[in-house]
Structure formats: C-alpha cells, structure tokens
Amino acid sequence: MSKNSWLDEIKWDDQGLVPAIAQDFQTGQILMMAWMNQESLLLTKQEQRAVYWSRSRSRLWRKGEESGHVQKLHSLQLDCDADVILLRVEQIGGIACHTGRPHCFFRTLQADQWHENVAVVKNPKEIYSHD
C-alpha cells in the first residue's frame, strides 16, 4: 500500500479533479466551492492550508496568495460517494469570496430572480492590485 493510498480512494473526474467545499469550522457557513487535483489535496494536507487547482489559470492556487485571505485547515472530509471533499477551515481575514464578501453564496432566488443578500466587506479593488 502506497504512502498516499488515501488519495486513490477518491473518485477523480476525467480531468483528475474533485469538487471541494470550504466550510467555516466554527459556524458551519459554506464559504466557497473550488476544485482540487491530487497535488493540491496533498499540499493542503501537508501545509495545513487550502490549496486548490485553478481551472481558469491552469495552476495551483493557494487560497489567499494574493489577497492574504488564507484558509487554515482544521479537517478534511470525504463524502459517502467519495467524489466531494469538505475542508473545514478558519477563514483568515473574514473574506472568502473574490467579490469581497465573507462567502461566495450571496445570491438567493426569490420570485425567479437572483437577489444579493450579503454585503461586500471590502472592495475587491482594494484586495487585488491587478484586477
């Protein structure tokens, strides 16, 4: 049995990715969803911080590498079908979303329209120098 056989138990998609949900370890709030490959998941475990695979940039993405809003890992969990990872994290700085909000799920469907229900904590232009 290999040292990282736990990685082999995960059902990776045809691109070698698995969806990963980040959840606040204290409140239970779902912060965001991203993708992980084997390398990012292994690095997440080793570094004890969230490391994702950015599909748009085609590279590893350490959450907070530009914004400083790091996700400190508290636990990793695998769902019953072995095809979704749950990261229970401490969100440093209180902002998980690139829009400057505490989490990415800030739109609620009401009367067939999406309504924003979470205020921006910090303007993204103040967080990201190149956006």
Q: Which amino acid is at 102?
A: P
What's the pLDDT band for 66 if we cut at 50, 70, 90?
confident
pLDDT for position 67: 87
**How many independent structural domains does the chain possess?**
1
CATH of the domain at 50: 3.10.20.810
Q: Is residue 73 part of a domain?
A: yes
Q: Is residue 107 part of a domain?
A: no
| Structural domain harbouring 70 | 5-94
Q: Is residue 57 part of a domain?
A: yes
Question: Poorest-confidence range of 48-57, 99-108, 122-131?
Answer: 122-131
Say what the pTM is.
0.89
- Give dist(CA 45, CA 124) in Å, integer: 28
128: Cα separation from own chain's centroid: 18
* Pairing verdict, β 113-116 and 71-78: unpaired
Percent residues over pLDDT 90 in the chain:
83
